[in-house]
Amino acid sequence: MQTKANPKKPIVLITGATSGIGRASAIHLAKDGYRLILTGRRAVTLKKLTVYLESKYKADCYAIPVDVRDYSTLKNSFDKLPEEWKSIGILINNAGLAAGLDPVQEGSLNDWNQMIDTNIKGILHMTRLIAPGMIARKKGHIINIGSVAGKEVYPKGAVYCATKHAVEALTLGMRQDFVPYGVKVSSVCPGAVETEFSLVRFKGDQERADKVYDGFVPLQPEDIADVIHFIITRPAHVNIQDVLIMPTAQASATIIHRQV
């Protein structure tokens, strides 16, 4: 498939682009001719993705290997962006993770800090860098990737759920702050998506991670990427503010019908 970046389309910045929803979104948008700024912690993986998108879809890509928790490095990277890449029109705040599945009284401080710094501060860091340009241009769109965990709380997930509830609150607050300037703010909240999410949560325990998706058909990253594409392609006067998307087999955060 051969496509080519369309200079009339806005530049899209995707955080956490090296896997899962971020990677699927990069591929989906590259197919549609968007110019992409891609960030992620794994420099080699990020480089491979940009080479793939450039060779397969003729995409224009700019890779920034960086951790969204590190604001000073982020700011330095964006200060050095070439002029032609600075007018970012769409920000997809996708980087996020769950670490551990423990009750609060047994939780790891390192896990908590990692989730809080990535899931909450990461969104704040990126938005603080990118939103002023959108406001100055009176045009832009920010999409925060939330979770069903931002709508409900489940046992042994208190801190992760708290971070995703914070994403919900930040999204609402951003929308109120940015509405006078014509900047859209949307939230996409998936249920069970088959990505590296559970593998990260269980610290590389593949067997335990695989059991999360046993007995039902989970969402795939491409399903979420398709929803994101729909949201950003609505007319200028339309903002899809909040989407909760679940597998058919999932009724809530804790109720999944499994075929056994």
Q: Are 178 and 135 in contact (CB under 8 A)?
A: yes
Answer yes or no: are the C-beta atoms of 92 and 22 closer than 8 Å: yes
| Residue 160 is among the residues annotated as catalytic for this protein | yes
CA dist., res. 219 & res. 235, Å (int):
27
State the Cα–Cα distance between residues 81 and 78, nearest whole angstrom.
Answer: 5
Out of 71, 80, 139, 164, which one is annotated catalytic? 164
> What is the SS3 assignment for 142?
strand
User: Do 185 and 144 contact (CB within 8 A), yes or no?
Assistant: yes
Strands (E) located in the chain: 11-14, 36-40, 61-65, 88-93, 140-145, 183-190, 242-245
Residue of 160, 181, 203, 211 marked active site: 160
The verdict on whether 75 is a catalytic residue reads no
Catalytic residues: 160, 164
